[in-house]
Amino acid sequence: MSETLIIRLSLYGIAALGATLVLGCLRRFPLGFIGTVGVGAYTAAVTQMVAGYPWAFCLAAGAVAGALFGALPGIFDEGLVGDEYAVLSWMMAIAAYETISMLEVTGGQHSLIGIPPLFAGAVGLRNTAYLYAGSFAVILALLMAFRRSQAYDQARLAGLNPRTLAQSGQSPRAVSLKIHLLAGALGGLAGALWGPAYRSLHPSQFRLTESIVILLVCLVGGQGEPLGVLVGLLLIFLVPTLVDFSAAAPSLSGFSAALGMRPPDDSAVASSLYQAFLGGVLVVVLLFGRRGVIPALRRAANRLGGADD
Amino acid sequence: MSLDSLYALLYDGFVLGGKIALAAIPYLLVYKYLMMLNFAFGEVMTFGAYASYLLLEKASWPIVPVIVATVLLTALLGVVIELVAYRPVIDADDRHLPLVTSVGVSIVLQNLYQALFGSRVIYADRLNLSPFWLFASLGGALVVVLGILTLTPLGQQIAAVASNRRLSMVMGIRPGLVYSSVFALASGIAALAGMFEMADNGIAPTMGFQLGLLAFAAAVLARLKSLPAAIAWAFVIGIAIQFAQARTVLNDQILWVILVLAALLSAARSRLRARKRRVLAGEDRGR
Sign of the C-alpha dihedral, residues A99, A101, A102, A108? Answer: positive
Neighboring chain A residues of B96 at a CB cutoff of 8 Å? 28-29, 82-83, 85-86
Minimum-distance CB partner of B270 among A84, A209, A262: A84
Q: Could you say which DSSP state residue A200 is in?
A: E
B19-23, B221-225, B272-276: least confidently modelled range = B272-276
Are B135 and B196 in contact, with CB atoms under 8 Å apart?
A: no
- Its ipTM equals 0.84
Q: Could you say which DSSP state residue B57 is in?
A: I
Are A98 and B255 in contact, with CB atoms under 8 Å apart?
A: yes
Q: Output Rg (C-alpha) for chain A, integer angstroms.
A: 20
**Interface touch A264/B274, C-beta < 8 Å:** no
Q: Per residue in B203-237, pLDDT tens? A: 999 888 888 888 888 888 887 778 899 999 899 98
Q: How many CB pairs under 8 A join A and B?
A: 157
Minimum-distance CB partner of B270 among A80, A255, A287: A80
How close, in Å, is residue A285 to chain B by CA atoms?
9
Q: Is 90 exceeded by the pLDDT of residue B84?
A: yes
In this structure, how many other beta carbons lie within 10 angstroms of the beta carbon of residue A307? 9
Exposed e or buried b for every residue in A191-208, given b needs 16+ CB within 10 A? bbbbbbbbeebbbebbeb
CA–CA separation, B16 vs B241, rounded Å?
9
Cα–Cα nearest to A227, from A158, A156, A309, A137: A137
In this structure, how many other beta carbons lie within 10 angstroms of the beta carbon of residue A223? 22
**Interface touch B104/A280, C-beta < 8 Å:** yes
Q: Closest-CA residue in chain A for B88? A: A287
Q: Is 70 exceeded by the pLDDT of residue A154?
A: yes
* Residue A17 DSSP SS3: helix
pLDDT > 90: what percent of chain B? Answer: 44
**Interface touch A283/B114, C-beta < 8 Å:** no
**Interface touch B116/A79, C-beta < 8 Å:** no
Q: Per residue in A58-116, pLDDT tens? A: 999 999 999 999 998 888 776 676 677 888 888 888 888 888 888 888 888 788 888 88
Chain B interface, mutation test: which of A84, A163, A266, A281, most B Cβ atoms within 10 Å? A84
